Amino acid sequence: MTAFKTLDDADLAGRRALVRVDLNVPMEDGKVTDTTRIDRILPTIREIAAKGAKVVLLAHFGRPKGPDAKNSLKQVVPALAHALGQPVTFVQDCIGDDVAKALAAAKNGDVLLLENTRFHAGDEKNDPDFVRALAANGDLYVNDAFSAAHRAHASTEGLAHVLPAYAGRTMQAELEALSAGLDNPARPVMAIVGGAKVSTKLDLLGNLVKKVDVLAIGGGMANTFLAARGIDVGKSLCEHDLVATAREIEDKAKAAGCEILLPVDALVAREFKANPGHRVVKIGEVAAEEMILDAGPMSVAEVVLKLDTVKTLVWNGPFGAFELPPFDTATVTVAKAAAARVKAGQLVAVAGGGDTVSAMNHAGVADDLTYVSTAGGAFLEWMEGKPLPGVEALRKG
Ligand SMILES: Nc1ncnc2c1ncn2[C@@H]1O[C@H](COP(=O)(O)OP(=O)(O)O)[C@@H](O)[C@H]1O
Ligand SMILES: O=C(OP(=O)(O)O)[C@H](O)COP(=O)(O)O
């Protein structure tokens, strides 16, 4: 941690500070449903503004293929301004004259939010021209997006090489908290990995199984592993072209002595909506028209029993589509069981990820776990021991 420049080292008065934050927040009907990522960046924004800089927020939202209204950061402005307690000026592009003009009109201490950096292909490609275009509107760069630090993108990595670069307060706090809780985890260690981002998280399980003693798999990730075992998962979220990778991970787990827990039963429905007709089935009995939308009661019982045998839990990704009742049941039950064991002093439990934090809040346990990180994929890569590009780029030369 001491290897970074922090806001203590930055000369901010009268400067234009490009601040990379993670505003990839859960939304429903155009409204932010969980403000944890917004709340966590407030100290950094307030400190930079109070020290007299113009705060220029850079962030991504979703995985757009180009500009589209559904992924505009404009919809996050009301929640951000409300949390901050001051107006936020939205700029409809993240590079070019629009930004320069808005900055010329802004006063020191003002906060600007620029449009989704991923509306330009150059962000994810870390294109040097795009990095320069972003840098043209800033005097210095602050990275407070630990949860996007596993991405070597222009806004998360490239900028640190062309502008004086500093870690924001949340970036510092996340790294310190994860190191304190998990640098030397008490064993056995159990990981729960679920959720929907199967293709981007599947690969890292190959290393994770070498670090943990038990891996419980849920969500769309579990469906992919079930398919790899030749089980019909009907219309479930499943990456059928990744079944070979799932099989390799099972082999690596076996070689490393890591036990893999997959659901043995599931809640299934034919429609992806709240409270549809649904039923509990054994895995292997999912009909062709049905989707697995949550782990079933026997699977949950197995995970909860396992919690009594481990000393550390790391968790990214819900067991089911928890936004749609009753498919929050497995996630909420396991979250409450973990929180009770933390309270009893028998478990260190760290959960992270944009939707996972939202799920922990939904379960009412976010304050009862040992630590809740804003990061999901970045947290898992940190667990693997992988250098995170966004963090490495901040290290002092
Ligand atoms: N079986 C499932 N089918 C469809 N979606 C699922 C299923 N299980 C979990 N999900 C979805 O996964 C999403 C969260 O996944 P992900 O983005 O990987 O987690 P995080 O943001 O915490 O890293 C949630 O929106 C949830 O609805
Ligand atoms: O939401 C995020 O990660 P997470 O789902 O792993 O918590 C980050 O904003 C990274 O987003 P990305 O996985 O589209 O690069």
Q: Which two structure tokens, joined as six digits, stand for 21?
A: 């934050």
Nearest-ligand number for the alpha carbon of 356: 1
- What is the Cα–Cα distance from 227 to 209, expressed in whole angstroms? 19
**Ligand 1, atom nearest to 294 Cα:** 1
pLDDT at 209: 96
pLDDT at 1 exceeding the cut of 70: no
Same domain, 147 and 205: no
With a 6 Å cutoff on the Cβ, whether 148 touches ligand 2 is yes
Same domain, 118 and 189: no
Same domain, 286 and 159: no
Domain assignment present for residue 391? The answer is: no
Please provide the average confidence, as pLDDT, over all residues in the chain: 96
284: exposed, middle or buried (Cβ count in 10 Å: 0-12, 13-18, 19+): middle
Domain count of the fold of the chain: 2
Q: Which two structure tokens, joined as six digits, stand for 134?
A: 């972003």
Q: Residues 95-121: pLDDT tens digits?
A: 999 999 999 999 999 999 999 999 999
- What is the Cα–Cα distance from 166 to 3, expressed in whole angstroms? 11
Domain assignment present for residue 272? The answer is: yes
- What is the Cα–Cα distance from 17 to 54, expressed in whole angstroms? 6
Q: Name the residue range of residue 138's domain.
A: 7-171
Same domain, 11 and 136: yes
Decide which of 144, 171, 198 is a domain's last residue.
171
pLDDT at 2: 53
Domain assignment present for residue 177? The answer is: no
Active site residues: 37, 197, 354, 377
Pocket test residue of 143, 197, 382 for ligand 2, highest count of atoms within 8 A of CB: 197
Nearest-ligand number for the alpha carbon of 331: 1
Answer yes or no: is 23 a known binding residue. Answer: yes
pLDDT at 3: 84
pLDDT at 317: 97
pLDDT at 396: 65
Same domain, 199 and 130: no
Q: Residues 346-386: pLDDT tens digits?
A: 999 999 999 999 999 999 999 999 999 999 999 999 999 89
For residue 252, give the CATH number of its domain. Answer: 3.40.50.1260
Same domain, 35 and 64: yes
**Ligand 1, atom nearest to 357 Cα:** 22
Pocket test residue of 147, 150, 372, 374 for ligand 2, highest count of atoms within 8 A of CB: 147
Q: Residues 63-95: pLDDT tens digits?
A: 999 999 999 999 999 999 999 999 999 999 999
Helix H or strand E encompassing 131: helix 128-135
Give the pTM: 0.95
Same domain, 277 and 134: no
Q: Residues 269-320: pLDDT tens digits?
A: 999 999 999 999 999 999 999 999 999 999 999 999 999 999 999 999 999 9
Same domain, 131 and 230: no
Find the length of the chain: 397
- Inter-residue contact 191 to 208 (CB < 8 Å): yes
Decide which of 139, 171, 203 is a domain's last residue.
171
Domain assignment present for residue 246? The answer is: yes
- What is the Cα–Cα distance from 219 to 299, expressed in whole angstroms? 12
Domain assignment present for residue 89? The answer is: yes
With a 6 Å cutoff on the Cβ, whether 390 touches ligand 2 is no
Same domain, 149 and 288: no
Q: Which two structure tokens, joined as six digits, stand for 170?
A: 């949340």
Same domain, 188 and 150: no
* Angle between the N-to-C axes of helices 36-50 and 77-84, in degrees from 0 to 180, rounded to the nearest 10: 60
CA 215, chain centre distance (Å): 19
Ligand 2 center–CA 72 separation, angstroms: 16
Q: Pick from 168, 156, 148, 154: which is nearest to 376 by CA?
A: 148
User: Widest CA span of the chain, in angstroms?
Assistant: 65
Domain assignment present for residue 396? The answer is: no
